Chain A
Amino acid sequence: MIITKPKPKAKIVEMVEPFKKVFIVGCGTCATSCQTGGEEQVKQLAGMLGKKGVGGVVVEAPCDLRLVKRDLGKSKGKLDGADAILVLSCGAGVQVIGDYSGKAVIPGLDTLFIGKIERIGRLYERCRACTDCLLYETGGICPVTRCSKGLLNGPCGGMADGKCEAGGHTRDCAWVLIYESLKRQGRLGLYSKYRAPRDRSRKAQPQELLSR
């Protein structure tokens, strides 16, 4: 899940200010789960915009151009009349809506991370999209994401009593979790394995996946 949080109301008001007619697009997938861009939030924002608001719709997944075409096609009239679109989705969705409409887009949310939703109010980062998943050999716990330093070969000197120095020893040290997990699974040999430096060139420029 892509985890988002709403931008401060004052910031949204400031971005919307230059425009006369604003259409709102929500996200039926991640932002709905995060309660940041579902039906309810689209309605709330419409209320906030008052007369500037010219309608809104929740697109199943604003990051998927095929679904954007399908779902926004139904609101073509209102969309054409708007001079800006306020999008309640992750940054990917905002850009797809911008490309599709050619209109000014206003991000209503800040994109935080790829994570786990435990329950509302408890969301945790779990993946950095590093392009080279290590979870098999790290006991199902991602060091790239959950070690504050992204270390691949065990804990640093900042670990104390199983906790991480970043954040003041409140969070678990990822490498202690990995150690415990591998030990439980009888695979501790993997803990001691040397892992070579990551190939960061894959993340050094915008990625594209072009298979056909």
Chain B
Amino acid sequence: MKESYSDLMRALRSGRFVLTGEIEPKKTALLNEAIKSAKEMHGHVVACNVTDNPRGRAYLSSLVVSYAIQRDAGLEAICQMTVRDRNRIAITSELLGAAALGIRNVLTMSGDHTTLSDNPAAMPVYDIDTAQFVRLVRRIVDEGVDLEGNRIVGAVRMHIGIVGNPNAEPLEAELLKIGRKVRLGADFMQTQVIFDIDSAKSFLKEMERHNIPILPGILPCRSHAVAEFVSKNVPGIKVPRDYMEQLKRAEDCQDRHAKRERVDEVNLKYFSSVIQELRKTTRASGAHVMAVGYEGMVRKLAESL
């Protein structure tokens, strides 16, 4: 049995159903919002992703927020790190910094393209890709050396997460890519958002051969507008019509508080049933709840387990 360095990895290897949450730092120099979110999720998720400049927006550093939520909220971080903005020197340096600050999980990602960002004239780096990133972290953790074999002082104890997309089309191109990253030594996988449980099931079935803990991504939407935005703007994600309609009906209410509760009811019912289905019919190790700014729903889903 491989050693577990993080609460996340211990939980995943224990066989219990694991929830992870997500925090998205914003364009701010203040940590308070992120820490508040982390405190609200504490006890309901095992660990929490901290996004790394999603959609290429230059936001508060993922590493800094990861450290802050561990220190101030006691919530373990899954530090997202993209290869978009850093070459192999910067990535190595950041990994060492993360290790020094007690970060135990890193999620390796490509990062949305710079041309989609709020600084679209920026240079896209992509010196290495995510497969090479996995290899880099593996070398640092297992061999105590960087990509070139240069010796690192002090042990780095860190688990490597990868992402997979069950909605990818053609799917085989994605499956083969994931297989390569597993062979290179990934420890766990979180997936892009799934709504359609049937396609998620066939993806998870395909993944069984890799024997890696998988946390399918779910996205409870705070409002019909959010669901519509995701449906229209996140390519490859089809938000089911019946779920959208349920949200719309729930919002048809004058009282703000009641409206909130009705929307929560829809989400709780829809996603607890998705989670139940995952638990019953797949080997998913848990679910990654991407309810950014909707921490109350994370708590409710955790309580429904």
List residues of chain A with CB under 8 Å of any chain B CB: 148-163, 165-167, 169, 175-176, 179-180, 188, 191-197, 200
Q: Which of B27-35, B171-179, B264-272, B286-294 binds A? A: B171-179
Do residues A158 and B113 form an inter-chain contact, with CB atoms below 8 A?
yes
- Complex partner residue of A157 from B109, B128, B169, B179, CB under 8 angstroms: B109
19 A–B contacts from the bound complex (CB under 8 Å): A148-B124, A149-B129, A151-B110, A154-B131, A154-B176, A154-B177, A155-B174, A156-B129, A160-B168, A161-B235, A163-B235, A165-B116, A167-B115, A175-B177, A179-B172, A179-B176, A194-B183, A195-B131, A197-B127
- Complex partner residue of B192 from A155, A157, A165, CB under 8 angstroms: A157
Do residues B173 and A155 form an inter-chain contact, with CB atoms below 8 A?
yes
- List the A residue with the shortest CB-CB distance to B125: A149
Chain B residues with Cβ under 8 A from A193's Cβ? Answer: 180
Chain B residues with Cβ under 8 A from A196's Cβ? Answer: 132, 135
Chain A residues with Cβ under 8 A from B130's Cβ? Answer: 151, 153, 156
Chain A residues with Cβ under 8 A from B170's Cβ? Answer: 162, 176, 179-180
> How far does the Cβ of A108 sit from chain B's closest Cβ, in whole Å?
25
- Complex partner residue of B131 from A158, A160, A188, A194, CB under 8 angstroms: A194
Interface size class of B (residues with CB under 8 A): 35 or more
Chain A residues with Cβ under 8 A from B236's Cβ? Answer: 159-161
Do residues A150 and B126 form an inter-chain contact, with CB atoms below 8 A?
yes
Q: With A and B bound together, what is the CA distance between A203 and B132 in angstroms?
A: 19
Do residues A194 and B192 form an inter-chain contact, with CB atoms below 8 A?
no
Chain A residues with Cβ under 8 A from B167's Cβ? Answer: 160
Q: With A and B bound together, what is the CA distance between A155 and B175 in angstroms?
A: 11
Do residues A152 and B177 form an inter-chain contact, with CB atoms below 8 A?
no
Give the most central of A153, A155, A158, A161: most B CB within 10 Å: A153
**CB-defined interface of B189-224 with A at 8 Å, one 1/0 digit per residue?**
000100000000000000000000000000000000
Do residues B173 and A154 form an inter-chain contact, with CB atoms below 8 A?
yes
Chain A residues with Cβ under 8 A from B131's Cβ? Answer: 152-154, 194-195
Residue B140 CB within 8 A of the other chain: no
